[in-house]
Amino acid sequence: MINVTRSSMPSFEEYCEEIRPLWESRWLTNMGVKHKELEGMLCDYLKTPHVALYTNGHLALENVIAAMNLPQGGEVITTPFTFVSTTHSIVRNGLVPVFCDVDPKTYTMDVEKMESLITHKTVAIVPVHVYGNLCDVEAIEAVAKKHNLKVIYDAAHAFGVRYKGVSAANFGDASMFSFHATKVYNTIEGGAVCFKDDTLVQLLNDLKNFGIRGREEVGYVGGNAKMSEFQAAMGICNLRHLDGEIAKRKAVVERYRQRFAGVEGIILCDEQDGVESNYAYFPVVFDGFKRDRNEIYELLQEYSIVARKYFYPLTNDIDCYRDLPTAGADKTPVAKHIADRVLTLPLYADLSLEDVDRICDIILN
């Protein structure tokens, strides 16, 4: 069986060595030594001034949106071609998602359409770096400045991606990364918010710890979203090996690209100018191919190969949002076109090139 992904892990011995001190300190969570060490390592790796760690990416995104103090009922422009977490984070903060269509090449927010959706109620923009494809960060920044809007990136897919040498952590007011087991870089479950504004440091730290500011002071209505020492220890180990893991992913992606190059009806994402990829996903759009997406999905399954309809369905077309006045997949035709035809193929560091060839042979023949 070949699964769509497989978590990167350090050796058993390396992880045990990393958690050994916890048996002496008996300090298992609440911003301990490993937590501090990982925050420092991530500031260095991502070349960003502030990193706030979380127990998962979703709560990181919910918390950073809350930290922006946006007026309840305000409209937030986002895209439906994403994981439900993005849309949930907006709605769970009492804000209204307004779904913008995506660019047909990168599947990220179409900035021209985005500007046309801005009204007097718009308070923020939450774009997504889909598959690690970077949004048009410069255009988004220009529009956001003009209209005085906050920009919070869902960068769950973009850990390690750089644009003109600058890490994806440095765009907008803040960026959320997910360190879930299925992502390029994992802390088992985990996530982070990266940002530049010094005044957010205390607020984000408080929000993830019940709003507790001091021994006898509770400043905010916060939840609990702290990363534990065991998660942080996994992150410390995995970060040591990340560049090697990304290089191995690159070899897999290059093989897929070679095999599918020029095949009619198979559309791949172009490499983006100035972007260093993290090779997080390998999306293929079947558009005019001899079999459609669902047939290929079933066919692979017959060979115990798991591909993923990612992202399908669109978040403006799921039960909990379908009835919103702003929802409806017909309003985002490009996103719908892609969601109906896309499949992400198996991709992980240790996927052998022989297995890649086998997957390609099944699809092509």
Ligand X SMILES: *Cc1c(COP(=O)(O)O)cnc(C)c1O
Q: Is the peptide bond before 313 cis (omega within 30 degrees of 0)?
A: yes
Q: Which two tokens stand for residue 227?
A: 């990363």
Closest among 311, 252, 313 to 278, alpha carbons compared? 252
In degrees rounded to 5, what are phi and psi of residue 124?
-160, 165
Q: Which two tokens stand for residue 338?
A: 């892609």
Regarding 63 and contact with ligand X (CB under 6 A), the answer is no
Regarding 208 and contact with ligand X (CB under 6 A), the answer is no
Q: Which of residues 174-193 bind ligand X (CB under 6 A)?
A: 178, 180, 191
The residue count for binding ligand X (CB under 6 A) is 14
Among 58, 208, 226, 255, binds ligand X (CB under 6 A): 58
Among 78, 79, 82, 122, binds ligand X (CB under 6 A): 82
Q: Which two tokens stand for residue 254?
A: 């290059």
Fill in the per-residue mask, 122 to 151: x = in contact with ligand X (CB under 6 A), - = not in contact: ------x-----------------------
Identify which of residues 87 and 255 has a Cβ nearer to ligand X in the complex. 87
Identify which of residues 82 and 209 has a Cβ nearer to ligand X in the complex. 82
Regarding 57 and contact with ligand X (CB under 6 A), the answer is yes
Whether residue 184 contacts residue 160, with contact meaning beta carbons closer than 8 Å, is answered with yes
Determine how many CB atoms are found less than 10 A away from the CB of residue 295. 12
**Is residue 137 within a helix (H) or strand (E), and if so which, with residue range?**
helix 137-147
Using the contact rule CB under 6 A, the part of the chain among 27-35, 37-45, 80-88, 343-351 near ligand X is 80-88
Distance separating alpha carbons of residues 352 and 254, to the nearest angstrom: 12
Using the contact rule CB under 6 A, the part of the chain among 53-61, 69-77, 109-117, 280-288 near ligand X is 53-61
Regarding 157 and contact with ligand X (CB under 6 A), the answer is yes
Q: Please list, in sequence order, all residues whose beta carbon lies within 8 angstroms of the beta carbon of residue 223, skipping any fewer than 6 positions away.
A: 59, 63, 207, 208, 210
* Interacting residues toward ligand X by CB under 6 A: 56-58, 82-83, 85-86, 128, 154, 156-157, 178, 180, 191
